[in-house]
Amino acid sequence: MVAQRLQLHRALSKLGLCSRKVAARWVAEGRVRVRGVVVRDPLVWVALGEDAIAVERGAAEPPAALGPPTGARVYALHKPRGVVTTRADERGRGTVYELLPPDAGGGWLFPVGRLDRDSEGLLLFTNDGVLADALTDPRRHVPKTYRVRLDRALEPAEQARLRAGVELDGRTTAPAAITWERGHWYRVVLREGRNRQLRRMFALDGRKVERLVRLEVGPVALGDLAVGAGRWLSPVELAALRAAAGLAVGDEPPVEAG
């Protein structure tokens, strides 16, 4: 597998350690080492999965040594509402990393995309940067399924408009599948993932999202996972996920012996 190359501040964010803004500050303060050397430029390119990165935290925080992964793994978490998708939060809020098991692979397990603080449901973590990028690349059209409760029901014409695509950030969204379930609940399938996309789409018609639950990412389903619980994907599930992302057999990172 070709190592994923990212600018240093993006790599720290990708690993779930902090936001890009905080990462840039850490780098400027001389708290980040790449291959043992202090780097003060957040725009330096690093090879995720090859370059050893270490972050010197504050006095009350243990250092984060980010060594290479030992084989492709994916962990499925049922993210609760009220926690943020980052490793450390400067505002002291709970994070998804507090819910991961001891064998989660340290800093090398990072989230595949994000769910905002008020959203819940299926959140995948992996140590495979190529797989993560493929699953979040809108050109791959990997479907992600959600259940959404609105404050008011949609009119048929509004549903049709959202299905066809609406303009966000100067670009039209990809067609979405929107199905009414009951009451104010809708099932939505997206094949792209923009920042807070569903909330912003429904806001165009004056609707507020009261609850948002991600049910599926490609072939991986939330199923009956309890809130806050998680599980490792089986080899069969991992192969199916890679296929859904358009990755050929042989693209995965090698598993080290021992």
**Mean predicted confidence (pLDDT) in 219-244:** 92
Active site residues: 116
Tens of pLDDT, residue by residue over 100-143, are: 887 775 557 889 988 999 999 999 998 887 888 889 888 888 99
pLDDT top residue among 50 and 233: 233
What would the two tokens of residue 10 be?
Answer: 């993006």
Long-range interactions of 157-162: CB distance < 8 A, separation 24+: 158/205, 161/205, 162/201, 162/202, 162/205
Tens of pLDDT, residue by residue over 176-204, are: 999 999 999 999 999 987 888 999 999 99
CATH homologous superfamily for the domain 1-68? RNA-binding S4 domain (3.10.290.10)
Cite the DSSP H helix spans in the chain: 8-14, 20-28, 129-136, 156-164, 197-203, 235-244
Domain extents in the chain: 1-68, 143-217
DSSP state of 253: P
d(CA 210, CA 149): 6
Question: Percentage of residues in the chain with pLDDT exceeding 70?
Answer: 84
Residue range 143-217 forms a domain whose CATH class is alpha beta
3-class DSSP state for residue 78?
strand
Q: How confident is the model at residue 69 (pLDDT cuts 50, 70, 90)?
A: very low
**Residue 20 in this model has a pLDDT that exceeds 60:** yes
**Residue 53 in this model has a pLDDT that exceeds 90:** no
